Amino acid sequence: MRHTTLGDRRVSALCLGAMQFGSTTDPDTSLALLDRFVDAGGTFIDTADCYQFWVDGGQGHESETLLGRWRRERGVTDEVVIATKLGAQPTVSETGEKAPEGLSARAVATAAERSRRRLGMDTLDVLYAHCEDPRTPIEETMGAFAELVSQGAVGELGMSNHHTWRLERARAATATHGWPRPRVLQYRYSYLQPRAGVPLLAGGHMHVTPDLLDFVRAEAKDGREHTLVVYTSLLSGAYTRPDRPLEYAYDHPGTSARLAVLDEVAGETGATRNQVVLAWLMDHDPAIVPLVGVSSLAQLDEALEATDLRLSTEQHARLTAVH
């Protein structure tokens, strides 16, 4: 298993996404997947307080609840880093309108406490602002996050699905007040790239942009490192499954060109497309932690084997050069 740095901690270079655990992936399978991941050296798991409210019968805390059960039953403590998110859980107003809880100071404090109880953790390892909240000043959100850190309720802070200019505003607010800054970022990214400006089918997904990568590199030069975690890293199976076609945003000449080189490298290494994609992400500049969502042990084993795949410098450069 490869490893990387997340804040002041060392974690596996592959992150296991637990979004479906306890809901569309049944509890027994979910527990087996978590056990297999940890047995293989995995130490980084991702969830959110809203997973999965959108499925039939879902309320939005199934994943955290399942992870809390797993931690209790297996005696898991701080050897496994669990990252969760808040801000996207829907609420229903008196008028019947649905809206995300958002990132107000009150919402942050309330949601964080619920996550701590469900996960059975005195200190949440990583807590992300899940999505933007235009109604709340970023300074209020950062202040609420800083309070959680000062209380010992949260270890590392993160931001997910925020425009780069909001990341800079968050950085400025934390610098002004001497608050802890978010050091973990989470966005959508994979080897294949969607056309700029074409909406993705999944609402709320925000893709890594050249601007974001430039921000991360520039911050690192100034001594402010970030860990960049990317979801939908395998495009929901579209690299290998005919029943999972690529969405419209990926329908452009660059996709065919990239797939051709991807198949070349897969043939040279004896690996699958998925494994080459994960290896390419793990060797990315700036550094990236791919997050994988799996629903079977076979899918998980394929991803775990990718952590042993080392692309040559030439292979990585060849993959990267295609546009």
d(CA 36, CA 202): 29
Q: Which of 51, 187, 231, 250 is catalytic?
A: 51
Best CA proximity match to 157, nearest among 172, 141, 168: 141
Q: Is 51 a catalytic residue?
A: yes
Q: Tell me the CA distances in angstroms from 194 to 88, 187, 212, one per residue in order.
A: 24, 14, 15
Alpha carbon 80 to chain centroid distance?
A: 16
Which residue has tokens 């087996």?
Answer: 32
**CA pseudo-torsion sign 5, 145, 138, 99:** positive
Could you tell me which residues come within 8 angstroms of residue 312 by beta carbon, excluding any fewer than 6 positions away? none
**What single letter denotes the amino acid at residue 263?**
D
Strands (E), 205-272: 227-231
**What single letter denotes the amino acid at residue 155?**
G
Angle ∠(166,224,113) on CA atoms, nearest 5: 60
How many helices and strands (H and E) does the chain possess?
10, 12
Catalytic sites, residue numbers? 51
